[in-house]
């Protein structure tokens, strides 16, 4: 008489393979989300670094021109054409301040998305606020100049930008450098 024996088949069943693929997919999705978050944080860090460098650039320009420091209280927003030539800005030294501020503003706008800057004398620096008017979110600065001219208030370089590409929220981020 012949004995019937069962042959043992070894290998994976379809259910085991599907379960392994599902577990691997969850792990890979987690890695993908980690990479996206890392990219956002890296972008944020780059914008903060650029904003700080540009703010210090303007602060250094202000320090290097102490005779015209009062012209930085309300600089013009357009450059003076003569300042771009080899002859220079001419007799009006405030033209140099206006041109320097206009160039700095354009560098801010080019280096950082939505980058805007402000120079002012401020008795309470560090009070940049975010306002939303009709869905448009913009930074506002409280440049509280001293009540009397004899009261000392430091010059503050303020820079804000729109971090729409770095985070989910579209609230502007600000940094301030006090001279």
Please indicate, yes or no, whether the overall pTM of this predicted structure exceeds 0.95: no
Is the residue at 136 inside a domain?
A: yes
Q: Which residues of 82-100 are buried (b: 16+ CB within 10 A; e: fewer)?
A: ebeeeeebeeeebbbbbbb
Q: Which residue range forms the structural domain that includes residue 29?
A: 14-178
Task: For residue 29, tell me if it sits in a domain.
Answer: yes
Domain assignment of residue 121, yes or no: yes
Residue 4 within any structural domain of the chain: no
Residue 132 lies in a domain: yes
Query: Cα–Cα distance between 114 and 101 in angstroms, integer?
Result: 17
Residue-level length of the chain:
179
What's residue 19's pLDDT?
92
The answer to whether position 114 is within a domain reads yes
Q: Count of domains in the chain?
A: 1
| Cα–Cα distance, 168 to 163 (Å, whole number) | 9
As a whole number of angstroms, the longest Cα–Cα distance in the chain is 121
User: Residue 126: inside a domain, yes or no?
Assistant: yes
In order along its 179 residues, the chain shows pLDDT tens digits of: 567 677 676 767 888 889 999 999 999 999 999 998 888 888 888 888 888 899 999 989 888 888 888 788 778 777 777 777 766 676 676 778 888 888 898 898 888 887 888 888 877 766 666 665 555 556 666 777 665 554 577 888 888 887 765 554 555 677 777 76
Residue 9 lies in a domain: no
């Amino acid at each position: 008489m012949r004995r019937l024996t069962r042959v043992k088949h070894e290998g994976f069943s379809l259910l085991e393979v599907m379960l392994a693929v599902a577990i691997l997919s969850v792990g890979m999705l987690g890695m993908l989300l980690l990479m996206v978050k890392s990219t956002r944080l890296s972008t944020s860090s780059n914008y903060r670094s650029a904003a700080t460098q540009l703010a210090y650039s303007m602060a250094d320009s202000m320090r290097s021109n102490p005779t015209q420091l009062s012209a930085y209280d309300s600089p013009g927003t357009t450059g003076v054409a003569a300042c771009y030539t080899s002859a220079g800005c001419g007799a009006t030294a405030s033209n140099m301040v206006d041109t320097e501020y206009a160039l700095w503003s354009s560098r801010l706008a080019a280096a950082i998305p939505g980058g805007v800057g402000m120079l002012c004398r401020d008795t309470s620096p560090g009070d940049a606020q975010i306002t939303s008017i009709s869905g448009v979110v913009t930074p506002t600065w409280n440049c509280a100049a001293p009540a009397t001219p004899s009261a000392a208030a430091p010059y503050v370089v303020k820079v804000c930008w729109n971090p729409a590409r770095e985070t989910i929220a579209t609230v502007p981020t600000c940094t301030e450098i006090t001279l």
